[in-house]
Each structure stands twice: as structure tokens, then as C-alpha cells.
Amino acid sequence: MSTELRLAEVQQKIVEFCNGCGRDPAGVTLIAVSKTNPAESIREAAGAGQIHFGENKVQELTSKMDQFDDTLKWHMIGPVQTNKIRQMAGRVDWIHSVSRTKELDEIEKRAEMAGRSINVLIQVNISDEDQKSGCEPDELPALLEHAAPMAHIRVRGLMGMASFTDNMDVVRSQFRMLREMRDKWQNHPDKRIDLEHLSMGMTNDMQVAIEEGATMIRVGTAIFGERNYS
Ligand SMILES: *Cc1c(COP(=O)(O)O)cnc(C)c1O
């Protein structure tokens, strides 16, 4: 099946899942996770109207960004290495996977040098699995307060990944926990902290994520097909 057809199917599912839980599909942004897939597939998806693309490695991200004009929006969703922030700071629109103060410091510095502002999501470890990245829930307040005065970073919300399991009750409780954290901080008295976004849900758990309030879903396999490596 073509990328275009698979993309249309995913868009239809988003509408269906939103209808099923009384949400407006306009409140869910689809991020097409193009990692490992060629620029040609991105071009095909972009031709079908897809705007947001996600990558998890800086080098792959920057080489792909360079091949497209700024009608496309780019999301870094993979582990952040501070020594690579400089390479993407001039162009990346969103970084979903920030979990340490030194990453915030470096993004602020490089965004300022590039004369722009970068949207950041704080990744929280909601699955309690050691190999999963993200800050611990109790580290979140300090990270938010650290970022609040920064002029070239806008913290827009939280990102999380659920456990790799078919047990959707487990996945749901993890997504719900992230949503509760977001809700708690959304109306922070410090108006520089405003967490409207929840980036959660992938190919296998996007329905549960939408039901639990995701505003951004990161979908790769359902759009581009199975990957050979991740
Ligand atoms: C690869 C990846 C995705 C997409 O996963 P699929 O199961 O292919 O939809 C989403 N989020 C992150 C952080 C990823 O690395």
C-alpha cells in the first residue's frame, strides 16, 4: 500500500477515535515519524498534505530538513545529546524529548544564537522502565521553573511513551498519569508556564492516547510501513 493511502487511513482513524470520545479531531496533530524512511516517502506524505514530521536522530533530522522548504514542520522526538543541539537549532520547530536542565541551557543558548525560539516538551518517564528516557515525575517542577525565564524556549507541554505491552489498561493508566501532570501545571500562576500539549501515542496505542487527551500523536509504522531497524 502507498504512503499516501496509509496516511489517509491514519487520518480517518483519528477522526473515528475522536468521534468515539467526543473530541474535535482538529485538536490532535498527527506527526508522521519518518525515521529510517527515505526523503522520497516524506515527499509523498507532504504531497498528500502532511505538514509535521518527526525524527529521532539529529543527523538524519538535519539532512532531511535540508531537503525541504519551511512549509514542513520538524519534530525531534529522540534522545537529546547536548553536543548535537547546535546542529538542529537553526531549523527544528519542536523538541519533544527534553529531560535535563543542561539540555534546556544548551537549547536556549543555541536558539538565541540562531535568533529564534524553539518549542519544547518535557519528556516524563511514565512507564517506569529503566531503558525509557525522560525525567522522573518528581523532577518536573524544577525543570519547568528552570525553563520559565528562558526567552528562546517555549515549554508547550509534556511527552511520554507507554510501556511496550498489549495490555491497554496499563498503557491507559500511564497516559492518564501524564495528562494529570499536564493538568496540574497547565494553569500555573507563573504565566510563562503553560502546558497545552500532550505528545503521546504511537501506531499501536494511538486510540488510547486520543481517548486520554493526546494533542500530538507520533505515528511511524502505520504511515510508512514496517521499519527494518529503529
Ligand atoms: C519511532 C517512534 C515513534 C513511532 O513509532 P511507531 O510505532 O512506528 O508508530 C514514536 N515516538 C518515538 C519517540 C519514536 O522513536
Residue 99 maps to a domain: yes
pTM of the model: 0.96
Take residue 211 and report the three cell numbers written for it.
481517548
The verdict on residue 168 lying in a domain is yes
Protein residue with its CA nearest to atom 11 in ligand 1: 218
Closest-lying ligand 1 atom to the alpha carbon of residue 224: 8
Q: Are 156 and 121 in contact (CB under 8 A)?
A: yes
CATH code where residue 28 lies: 3.20.20.10
How many H-runs (helices) and E-runs (strands) does the chain carry? 9, 8
> Higher-confidence residue: 24 or 130?
24
Least confident of 32-46, 131-145, 160-174: 131-145
Number of domains observed in the structure of the chain: 1
Residue 230 resides in a domain:
no
Residues 51-66 pLDDT 10s? 999 999 999 999 999 9
The answer, yes or no, to whether residue 139 has pLDDT greater than 80, is yes
* 111 domain-assigned: yes
Range of the domain at 10: 3-223
Ligand 1 atom closest to residue 159's alpha carbon, by position in its atom list: 13
